[in-house]
Amino acid sequence: MYVDVETLVTEWLRTKLDQAVTVRTELPEVVNNILPLVCVERFGGADNVPTIDRPMVDVDAFALGNAAAKQLAEQVRELLRNQLPGHTTAAGTVLGVITILGPTRREWDDTGTRRRGATYEIITKS
C-alpha cells in the first residue's frame, strides 16, 4: 500500500498554515465562501521501486486579490520544500519534494478571487 499523498499533505498543511486558511482535496461549489483556500490534488506520478511513490501533486492557492494568492502560494512552496521532507506518519515518510512548476497565475472565472498554482513531485516511502 502506498501513502495517500493528498491526505498526508492536506493534514500536514493544516498544522502549518494559519487557521484562517482552509485546506482541502476538492474545490467546493462556491470558492468565495471559504477564502483563503489551498486545494491539494494528485494527478499522476510513478512508482518504479516497490514502496517508493513519486506522485505529481497540484497545489492551488485561492485568495482575494493577486498579492494575497501569490503570498499564500509562496508560503506553501516554502513549507513543502523546506519542512515536509522527513515528515513521518503511520502510512509512511516523505523522502523529498521537487518543484516541477513553481507558483504561477492560473485562470479563475471570479473577478475578485485569484488563483496561484504550483506542481510538485512528492516522494514517499511506505
Q: What is the pLDDT of residues 71-123, one digit of tens each?
A: 999 999 999 999 999 999 999 999 999 999 999 999 988 778 999 999 999 99
Residues 62, 36: contact at Cβ < 8 Å?
yes
Task: Read off the pTM.
Answer: 0.95
Grouping H, G, I as helix, E, B as strand and the rest as coil, residue 33 is helix
87 CA to centre of own chain: 15
Q: Provide the pairing of β-strand 93-106 with 113-125.
A: antiparallel
Of the CA atoms within 13 Å of residue 53, those in its CB half-sphere come to 20
Q: Which domains does the chain have, with CATH numbers?
A: 5-125 (3.30.2000.30)
| Reported confidence tier of residue 39, pLDDT bands at 50, 70, 90 | very high
Q: What is the pLDDT of residues 40-51, one digit of tens each?
A: 999 999 998 899
| Per-residue confidence (pLDDT) for residue 112, from 0 to 100 | 85
